[in-house]
Amino acid sequence: PAHVYLLEDAYCLLRLRREDEHDAVHVVDYAFGTPAGRARLWSFLSTFTGQARSLTLQLPTEDPLLWDVPEFLRPSPHPLQVRIVDVKAALEQLTSPTETTFSLAVRDDFCDWNARTFQVHLHPERIQVEPRPQATAAELTLDVRALAALLCGSLSAEAGASTGAWEGSAAAARALAALGGSRRAFAPEPDYF
């Protein structure tokens, strides 16, 4: 039998099975309406830890959970491995199809020079990026990994909004995603470290 669980801003439909003398959970369907609903869904599914040996579900290719899963464990590998070590330099070498200005707060656990707030001015001829005081509230806040995924076409602004990969202005997130154009990064043999 299938079991339906209704959470605030989320639901899931799952089946409990017995496989090789162990209990297994198979998520048949799930949905969430907000990033908070998504977090509640993953929190709920984590309650099966210790009760079932495995939990299976299908994730969309843009889901940030796949960033940490080794390529060889995925049914359809995501071929991207990108690291931005200098946000200012990375953005300033690009051009924008539109002109807009916004403030961008970047979280980066490894490069403290990236972990700051920037004033970003996008223009078809040139992009300018200047650090701002940390106390300044930003229009768009994201992790440096989400920024790399947006710039490379691996994460759409819409998927980033629904999964909580960024917070704030949807217009600013779409403007960053447009910097990569229609190109998608591809590495045929990514390494696994």
pLDDT digits (tens, 9 = 90+) for 11-39: 999 988 887 788 899 888 888 888 899 99
Per-residue pLDDT, 175: 95
* Stretch 31-53: mean pLDDT: 90
For residue 75, give every residue at least 6 positions away whose Cβ sits within 8 Å of its Cβ, in sequence order, or none: none
User: Which of 111, 191, 182, 100 is CA-nearest to residue 144?
Assistant: 111
pTM higher than 0.85: no
Query: 174 in the Ramachandran plot: left (φ > 0), alpha (ψ -120 to 50) or beta?
Result: alpha
Instruction: Identify the weakest region by mean pLDDT among 3-7, 134-138, 171-175.
Output: 134-138
Q: What is the mean pLDDT of the chain?
A: 83
**Residue 65: pLDDT band by 50, 70, 90 thresholds?**
confident
Number of H helices, E strands in the chain: 5, 9
Give the distance, in angstroms, between the CA of residue 190 and the centroid of all CA atoms in the same chain.
19
User: At residue 55, does pLDDT exceed 90?
Assistant: no
**Residue that wins the pLDDT comparison between 78 and 49:** 49
- What pLDDT shows up at residue 187? 42
Secondary structure letter of residue 157 according to DSSP: H
Greater model confidence, 163 or 7:
7
Is the pLDDT higher at 133 or at 25?
Answer: 25
Q: How confident is the model at residue 134, as a pLDDT?
A: 72
Position 36 scores a pLDDT of: 92
Q: Does pLDDT of 189 surpass 80?
A: no
User: Which residue, chain included where needed, has tokens 């917070």?
Assistant: 167
The residue type of 140 is: L
Strand partners, 190: none
How many angstroms separate the CA atoms of 188 and 168, rounded? Answer: 34
Average pLDDT over residues 59-69: 70
